[in-house]
A and B are shown apart, each in its own frame.
Chain A
Amino acid sequence: DPKIIQKPKYLVAVTGSEKILICEQYLGHNAMYWYRQSAKKPLEFMFSYSYQKLMDNQTASSRFQPQSSKKNHLDLQITALKPDDSATYFCASSQMGVQDTQYFGPGTRLLVL
Chain B
Amino acid sequence: GEQVEQLPSILRVQEGSSASINCSYEDSASNYFPWYKQEPGENPKLIIDIRSNMERKQIQELIVLLDKKAKRFSLHITDTQPGDSAMYFCAAPYGSSGNKLIFGIGTLLSVKP
Which residues in A have some Cβ–Cβ distance to B below 8 Å? Answer: 33, 35, 42-45, 48, 50, 55-58, 90, 97-99, 101-107
Contact = CB atoms under 8 A, between A and B. Distances in A.
Contacts of B44: 43, 90, 104
Contacts of B87: 42
A55 B101 CA distance: 12
Given A102-B46, A104-B44, A42 B89 contact: yes
Contacts of A57: 100
Interface of B: 31-32, 34, 36, 42-46, 49, 51, 87, 89, 91, 93, 95-103, 105-106
Contacts of A107: 43
B100 A58 contact: yes
Q: Which of A48, A90, A98, A105 has the most CB of B within 10 A?
A: A98
B99 A55 contact: yes
Contacts of B36: 43
B99 A56 contact: yes
Contact of A42 (B34, B43, B101, B103): B103
A33 B99 CA distance: 10
A50 B99 CA distance: 9
A43 B34 contact: no
Contacts of A45: 100-103
A40 to B, nearest CB: 11
B96 to A, nearest CB: 8
6 contacts: A58-B100, A97-B98, A99-B51, A101-B49, A104-B43, A105-B43
Contacts of A98: 32, 93, 98-101
